[in-house]
Amino acid sequence: MSGKFMSVTCEALSVKKQFFGVKAVAFDVYGTLVHIGDPRRPYRRLLSELNTLGRAPRTDNGARIMKLDVGLAEAAELLGMTLPGDVLQELTVDLSAELASIRLFEDAIPAIRLLQSRGLPIGLCSNLAGPYAKPVQALLPQLDAYAWSFAVGAVKPEPHMYSYLCDALDASPEQVLMVGDTLSADYEGPRSFGMQACHLARKRTSEAKVWISTLLELESLIGS
Q: What is the pLDDT of residues 188-207, one digit of tens each?
A: 999 999 999 999 999 889 99
Q: What is the pLDDT of residue 16?
A: 56
Cα–Cα distances (Å) from 133 to 53, 70, 130, in that order, read 29, 12, 6
Cis amide linkage into residue 57, ω under 30° from 0 = no
Residue numbers of the domain that contains 48: 42-100
Cα–Cα distances (Å) from 30 to 5, 22, 87, in that order, read 23, 23, 26
Q: Do 140 and 48 share a structural domain?
A: no
Q: Do 196 and 116 share a structural domain?
A: yes
Mean pLDDT of 117-131: 98
Cβ atoms of 153 and 54 closer than 8 Å: no
Per-residue pLDDT band for 9 (boundaries 50, 70, 90) equals: very low
pLDDT in tens, 137-182: 999 999 999 999 999 999 999 999 999 999 999 999 999 999 999 9
Q: What is the domain count for the chain?
A: 2
Q: Do 61 and 170 share a structural domain?
A: no
Q: Do 62 and 171 share a structural domain?
A: no
Q: Do 83 and 65 share a structural domain?
A: yes
- The CATH number given to whatever domain includes residue 111 is 3.40.50.1000
Lowest-pLDDT range of 12-16, 133-137, 211-215: 12-16
Asked if residue 14 has pLDDT above 90, the reply is no
Per-residue pLDDT band for 26 (boundaries 50, 70, 90) equals: very high
Of the residues 67, 82, 100, which one is the last residue of a structural domain?
100
Q: Do 206 and 167 share a structural domain?
A: yes
Of the residues 72, 100, 128, which one is the last residue of a structural domain?
100
Q: Round to whole Å and give the CA distance between 151 and 84.
A: 28
Q: Do 119 and 202 share a structural domain?
A: yes
Mean pLDDT (the chain, rounded)? 92
pTM of the model: 0.91
Give the DSSP per-residue string, 101-132. Answer: TEEE-TTHHHHHHHHHTTT--EEEEE---GGG
Q: Round to whole Å and give the CA distance between 62 and 222.
A: 34
Q: Do 186 and 124 share a structural domain?
A: yes
Q: What is the pLDDT of residue 94?
A: 98
Q: Do 179 and 111 share a structural domain?
A: yes
Cα–Cα distances (Å) from 151 to 5, 107, 160, in that order, read 37, 27, 12
